[in-house]
Chain A
Amino acid sequence: MKRRPLSLVVRLTVSIGAVITAVLLTFGWMMERSINNHFVQQDVDELNSVVQALQYLLATVPADIPADELHQRLASVVTGHRNAQYRISTDSGSLIYSTPGFNLDTFARTARPVEEITIDTVESWNDHQEAFRGAVLWIESDRLEGKARFRLAVATGIDFHLHYLDGFRNHLRIVTLAACLIVLLATWFAVYQGHAPIRRISREMRRIRSDQMDFRLEPRSVPAELVELTISFNEMIGRLEDVFRRLSDFSGDIAHELRTPITNLRTHTEVALTQARSVEQYREVLYSNLEEYDRMAKMVGDMLFLAQADNQLLKPELVDIDLQSELRNLFDYFSAWAEEREVLLENTGEQVHVHGDRLMIRRALSNLLSNAVRHTPEGQSVTTTLQVNSGNVRIRIQNPGPPIPEEHLNHIFERFYRLDASRQRSSEGAGLGLAITKSIIEAHGGKIRAFSTTEATTFEVQLPLKME
């Protein structure tokens, strides 16, 4: 079994939430980075100012300054720089000065000297659970002990910054998380609200019952995205309504068509039984009943045929049919009857073969032919034409006679449809002939239509040459 696709609300909420979370996280990361850089720059500036102060001191200090005073001056370089410290030594490694209370020995020895302290060259490390940032560089002076190069290690404590950054980061996380949650909730709510029209439509659809098939959704009352859905739905309901109406008409017609003969039979039998009658009279009743039974049996047979057609149960047994010889046989069959009505039968056109069910095609053509003969005035003729064009066979059965009005032509293939509403059951059957013909033609993948002019009425059947 295929799994049900995720709900729309979940899908939209998850995807929108993911995008917005990513945006928020990127934004936070950038903010944190920029603040961090800012702090590093601050540290670099501080270190540089220490270096500058020291350079100035070394440039200006008298060469003969006593050791005590030099020491004092060297210590004063970092006053005002709360966390700054430095260590200066000669090229050969002998210590000149180191800010008291700190130990930069290891760093001064191991770090690589840099040209200039910048964000990129500054290093940071941990020592005894304290964080530092600093650098080693060479400075030159000719005033001190007459030597040229000194190794300077300068550093500043950055715990304060790191502490601040930690706090900031935590804060940022909480805010981001909260923002994400709010966004998710808002999205979920918006999507849920956005689906409100769908729920409304669904409620409306649920109200449709078989007796209110005329119900239609109003496409103007729904959002643009749902217009197509409502239109499709309306069309579907339209088709259902049509089928439903025809089905209920059909059942109604069946009931009516059967009720009439049953009433006849009942009445006739009851009246016959009310008093003693002669054998002849009884026989008359039975004969008359027999005729009614026959008619009913035929109608039931026809209706079963149509029901099979409706349920796509008509499975033509395909054989090759020579339509011309088929028509010739039918002409032969109808000839005596047509002659009596003084109607001629004529066939023109090509010799045509189709694939089809012989019995069904014969039945369909026979219905059309007998119909045509019946409506042809005396002395005139029914003409059939066979034609092949572009993969189709066209069979035309044309009879002269009074035209069929347009409003009837559209319904002529419907069950029990009669041109003359007042005309009740007659020897011409129950009015199922053309409906059966249409079912047969359609079961063969063909089409049938009727048209009428002032001179003649034509039924045109189109059958595919080959049926898949």
Chain B
Amino acid sequence: MKILIVEDEVKTGDYIRLGLMESGFVVDLARTGLDGHHLALTGSYDLIVLDVMLPDVDGWRIMQSLREARSTTPVLFLTARDSVEDRVKGLELGADDYLVKPFAFSELLARVRTLLRRGAAPVFQDQLQVADLMLDIPRRRAQRHGVRINLTNKEFTLLELLVRRQGEVLPRSLIASQVWDMNFDSDTNVIDVAIRRLRAKIDDDFEPKLIHTVRGMGYMLDVTQPG
């Protein structure tokens, strides 16, 4: 998967590139709007991460050119101003998602993966499996090591999200928005409580432990411990 980053701020650009590369992506970094514009139109990328506040050719122009060229490459734009106008403008220009600075890298990574997955043909699987955990999607049932586990509706949705994105660190805000449609940070530890309860049901009596806490970032479901 090849990603283009257009970001004029040196450190931000470097760290995003490093982070994405370590997550297994091939990354090109353009440090000026002009370079970014050129690369976006000539290169072939699976995703473009675009800072809209660039000194020369700004992100809006690049998005416009992409649209005029009928490009279908998904665009995730970064903005420092959380204003409705910016959001609306970006989405009208054909961007697929946006993040407001300062953002968490785990959040960026999660959204990048979501966008990349969106492009791929959806996989309709009735059964999901991680280690000895089995999810029956149509019947919304879970069992582990052959034992049926009783989950509430939301618990199942949460588990399904974790399983589908196995091996990815999911930030709390992403979980809140995907499972409960709550698109804002809450002062509470609601997500932690929900995860704790889910853990009690699927991990407490079994080995190996599947749900892992990634400190300061979020949660992840995988067979092996992260890091």
> Which residues of A does B touch, CB under 8 Å?
287, 290-291, 293-294, 297-298, 300-301, 304-305, 308, 313, 315, 317, 329, 332-334, 336-337, 340, 359, 362-363, 366-367, 370, 373-374, 427-429, 433
Contacts and interface: CB of A to CB of B under 8 A. Distances in A.
Given A297-B102, A300-B102, A332-B154, A362 B184 contact: yes
15 contacts: A290-B215, A294-B104, A294-B216, A300-B102, A301-B100, A301-B185, A332-B180, A336-B194, A362-B182, A366-B182, A366-B184, A370-B190, A373-B188, A374-B188, A427-B187
A287 B215 contact: yes
B183 interface: yes
Interface in B167-214: 176, 180-190, 193-194, 197
B83 interface: yes
Nearest to A287: B215
B216 A336 contact: no
Contacts of A329: 180-181
B186 A366 contact: yes
A337 B104 contact: no
Contacts of B216: 287, 290-291, 294
A429 B189 CA distance: 11
B217 interface: yes
Contact of B82 (A301, A315, A340): A301
Contacts of A336: 190, 193-194, 197
Contacts of B185: 298, 301
Q: Which 8 A-B pairs have the closest CB atoms?
A: A290-B216, A429-B187, A333-B180, A297-B102, A337-B193, A287-B215, A337-B190, A336-B193
B84 interface: yes
B158 to A, nearest CB: 10
A313 B83 contact: yes
Contacts of B187: 367, 370, 427-429, 433
Contacts of A373: 188
B183 A359 contact: yes
Nearest to A300: B102
A363 B83 contact: no
Contacts of A362: 182, 184
Nearest to A363: B184
A308 B83 contact: yes
A356 to B, nearest CB: 14
A108 B172 CA distance: 127
Given A297-B104, A308-B82, A340-B193, 9 more contacts: A332-B154, A332-B180, A333-B190, A366-B184, A370-B188, A370-B190, A374-B188, A427-B189, A433-B187
Nearest to A304: B82
Contacts of A340: 193
Nearest to B176: A333
Q: Is the interface of A mostly helix, strand, loop or mixed?
A: helix
Interface string B69-107: 000000000000011100000000000000010111000
A298 B185 CA distance: 8
Given A287-B216, A291-B216, A359-B183, A337 B188 contact: yes
Nearest to A291: B216
Nearest to A429: B187
B104 A370 contact: no
Contact of B190 (A300, A334, A433): A334
B107 to A, nearest CB: 10
Interface in B133-189: 154, 176, 180-189
A200 to B, nearest CB: 46
Contacts of B176: 333
A308 B82 CA distance: 9
A294 B217 CA distance: 9
Contacts of B197: 336
A461 B186 CA distance: 20
A317 B84 contact: yes
Contacts of B181: 329
Nearest to A430: B187
A367 B9 CA distance: 35
Nearest to A290: B216
B209 to A, nearest CB: 19
Nearest to B106: A290
B189 A337 contact: yes
> Which of A298, A336, A373, A427 neighbours the largest number of chain B CB atoms within 10 Å of its CB?
A336
Contacts of A333: 176, 180, 182, 190
A370 B194 CA distance: 15
Contacts of B190: 333-334, 336-337, 370
Interface in B100-133: 100, 102-104
A334 B192 CA distance: 11
Nearest to B171: A294
Contacts of A366: 182, 184, 186
Contacts of B182: 333, 362, 366
A370 B184 contact: no
A120 B159 CA distance: 122
Given A290-B216, A429-B187, A305 B82 contact: yes
A334 B104 CA distance: 24
A313 B83 CA distance: 8
Contacts of B83: 308, 313
A317 B88 CA distance: 11
A305 to B, nearest CB: 7
Contacts of B184: 359, 362-363, 366
A343 to B, nearest CB: 12
Contacts of A359: 183-184
A371 to B, nearest CB: 8
> Which of B154, B194, B197, B216 neighbours the largest number of chain A CB atoms within 10 Å of its CB?
B216
A190 B221 CA distance: 89
A340 B182 CA distance: 20
B159 to A, nearest CB: 14
Nearest to B195: A336
A168 B192 CA distance: 109
A332 B176 CA distance: 12
